[in-house]
Chains A and B, each alone.
Chain A
Amino acid sequence: MEQKKGFKLGLNQKQGLIGWAFLSVAAALIIVMNFYPMFRGFLFSLQTGVGANMEYAGLFNYRRLLEDPQFRQTVSNTFFYLAVQVPVMIVLGLILASMLNSKNLKFKGFFRTTIFLPCTVGLVAYSLVFRQMFAVSGIVNTIAMNIGIMDTPFNWFGTAWSARLIIILGLLWRWTGFNMIFYLAGLQNIDQSIYEAARIDGANVLQQFRRITIPVLRPIILLTAIMSTNGTLQLFDESVNLTGGGPGITSRSMSHHIFNAAFQGIPQIGYASAMSFVILLFVGTLAFIQIKIGDKR
């Protein structure tokens, strides 16, 4: 008996070990699939040269970033999308979720499915459909002309603001339902009796929304805000397929610019990797700020 004692694990230790065993598989996959490429990407970002002929050049690529007016333009485009789209989407998602959570609403399942459905559509597919819709001879212009809002077709992709607007519209259509589902799930955890009590105390719908719904949903709002910030900063498909980044580069996103640096013309992998790490920096900083502001636990 005594010899075996050295190998005997306590129940807690045993369970802990099993837990680690399960974690280790996922962790190994994440390390191989995510962290290793990121590490290689970081090494790339310290190298310059074209194609296969790369050599280390320290922070050259990062210094170069600061002198690239086109990168600056794409950064400001992307932050514009972020600043407009994320707040609008979160508010819209909250409103839709509250409406769907109302006890008096009929055909709840139908509305819930319809609003969620856009996020089952492929990014490229919906981008192409939006492009067709807003084409000069597309359905939007046709309808607007038939009901008399416009006399001549408007070239939606011909001005910077309309092109950016269409990207934001696309993002809202595609992602609002996705975020709404999170809020809806959160709302269903709130006891209806809290709302009843508030109503008895004379709180109107807006007050209930501000004083009950928002505080309860705070962690979920935080989660969706971080996810949408992350997603918007990495915006790519819409920029490439919906507007082509045009006119000029006024609607081009950072990721689109990175893609072009890496895959169009002479491959500048080092420079593209450096730009990617700048996005990582942005995402990390913003997520940190959001957590600091949003998490009151």
Chain B
Amino acid sequence: MKKLLVLLLTLVMAGMLLTACGRDDAEDVAVNELTVWSWDPAFNMFAMEVAAEIFERSNPGFVLNNVEMPWETIDMQLTTIGISGEHHLLPDIMLIQDQAIEISVLTFPQLFADITNSGINFNEFASGKTDFSVVNGRNFAVPFDNGVTITAFRTDILAQAGLTIGDFTNVTWNQFIDLGRQVLDTTGMPLLSTYGVGASFMDVMVKSAGTSLFDANGQPNFVNNPAFREAVDRFIEMVDAGVMLLPGDWSDYIGTLAAHDVAGTLAGCWILGTIQEVGPAGVWAVTNIPRLNIPGGTNYSSWGGSSWVITSNANFDLAVAFMNYTFAGSTELYDRILPAAGALSTWGPAAASTVYLEPQPFFGGQTVFADIIRFSQNIPDFMGGIHHYTAMDQIDIALGNIINLGMSIEDALREAEAAVRFEMGL
């Protein structure tokens, strides 16, 4: 009898263990709460915070659950949740890199809510930006920042080398590297740093000439691509000369700015939030980026714009109301996040704001945002494509092969192109 009891208890416990694992999150979600995943507290999360504050005024009791999640993790979550079908793990709203929207919608059609007819007026957003989130004629995201690339320098460091921000304006990469050597020789400081191995940087350089890493048929085009080759040559030259630091991951990169190891940086304008945290105030100045010395080369490009998607697990009505009231409807929101974080809107009505024209004391009185808007109007059109991240991975490997392992540029690019073709199943 006793043994039977023990047996029974064991089985019951095992049963409980099993059911506990499969239990759904049955907690009642507060009706007036939205969970949001995004990265960069100085930028995206800050913007969300301000939006929640504005929304709360007309919607008392609204609660924002603002979760920090690096883009790499969000990307991984999308794949895991998409494959397992456990859609209840999704938040209400999440930030997604523009280049990832199309591929995510195509690979996992169940992840995001179709918001074409939600009442959000997509015509008010810049069309080039909205295109990223339109798949088969349906809208899947509310466009956010546009990631215009800028070069930002500390003018006090440049002055030590007898240079001004004007010397870095409208230059070619060759001129830029020469100036960098001059700064390095006189101050001992590298001109700039970037994160990762350099593929994103390379992508920005290629896009600035209106070209792509893929040809018109969507095939990878690394070897016979003059713009890409020029970009690789100049990038390697910068690294070899010590003008460019490659500190590693994102936090190491921010570290080089915070520790003032470099004279400045080249990135999307989202970096302005970090720069304003790092300081020092009054000495930073912003200009356009260098151009590739090839036909069609321009001084303008974009880096890492992103958009907000409403997931299939969302409190749909609340999420739409929230987005419609804030990111697709509040000039106040953009007026506040622009100077504080450098969040440059892609929402038309916000561009009429006078905040854009104000001189910024942090940037020595420069009308930074008017300048950036001017840059944004000159960005050449470029093709995205769903294999963007595959190309980025392989270019990172190729750069490692060239910089660290001494492989010739031709061989490294040929291998990378072959690897991308392999992954695409070509």
Contacts and interface: CB of A to CB of B under 8 A. Distances in A.
Given A25-B11, A264-B389, A264-B393, A50 B404 contact: no
Interface in B93-125: 103, 106-110
Contact of B397 (A28, A159, A249): A249
Nearest to B407: A248
B390 to A, nearest CB: 4
A111 interface: no
Contact of B10 (A25, A32, A158, A269): A25
A218 to B, nearest CB: 36
A25 B14 contact: yes
A268 interface: yes
Interface string B386-422: 1101101100011011011101000000010011001
B386 A266 contact: yes
B389 A250 contact: no
Contacts of B110: 52
A265 B390 CA distance: 5
B82 interface: yes
Contact of A21 (B10, B197, B401): B10
A219 interface: no
Given A18-B3, A68-B422, A246-B197, A28 B14 contact: yes
Report which residue of B83, B386, B387, B393 has the largest number of chain A beta carbons within 10 angstroms of its beta carbon. B83
Contact of A22 (B10, B390, B401): B10
A267 interface: yes
A186 interface: no
Contact of B82 (A21, A70, A267): A267
Contacts of B83: 51-52, 267, 269
Contact of A268 (B197, B400, B423): B423
B86 interface: no
Contacts of B197: 246
B277 interface: no
A69 B422 CA distance: 10
B4 to A, nearest CB: 9
B7 A159 contact: no
B18 interface: yes
Contacts, number: 94
B419 A70 contact: yes
A50 B10 contact: no
Contacts of B390: 264-266
B336 to A, nearest CB: 36
B360 interface: no
A53 B103 CA distance: 12
Contacts of A269: 83
A246 B246 CA distance: 14
B75 interface: yes
Contact of A18 (B7, B80, B392, B419): B7
A247 B423 CA distance: 20
Nearest to B8: A21
Interface string A142-183: 000000000000010111100000000000000000000000
A250 B405 contact: yes
Contact of A51 (B75, B82, B425): B82
B404 A247 contact: yes
B414 to A, nearest CB: 12
Contacts of A159: 404-405
A121 interface: no
A50 B393 contact: no
Given A53-B107, A159-B405, A246-B404, A265 B11 contact: no
B79 interface: yes
Contact of A52 (B108, B415, B425): B108
B76 interface: yes
A250 B398 CA distance: 11
A134 B139 CA distance: 47
A262 interface: yes
Contacts of A50: 106-107
Given A32-B18, A52-B83, A248-B404, A265 B107 contact: no
Interface of B: 3, 7, 10-11, 14, 17-18, 75-76, 79-80, 82-83, 103, 106-110, 197, 386-387, 389-390, 392-393, 397-398, 400-401, 403-405, 407, 415, 418-419, 422-425
25 contacts: A21-B10, A25-B14, A28-B14, A29-B14, A32-B18, A50-B106, A51-B79, A51-B106, A51-B108, A69-B415, A70-B419, A70-B422, A246-B197, A246-B397, A247-B401, A248-B401, A249-B397, A250-B405, A264-B390, A265-B389, A265-B423, A266-B107, A266-B386, A267-B82, A267-B107
Given A51-B83, A247-B404, A266-B389, 14 more contacts: A21-B10, A22-B10, A48-B425, A52-B82, A52-B109, A67-B422, A158-B404, A246-B400, A248-B400, A249-B397, A249-B400, A250-B405, A265-B392, A266-B387
Interface of A: 18, 21-22, 25, 28-29, 32, 48, 50-53, 67-70, 155, 157-160, 246-250, 260-269
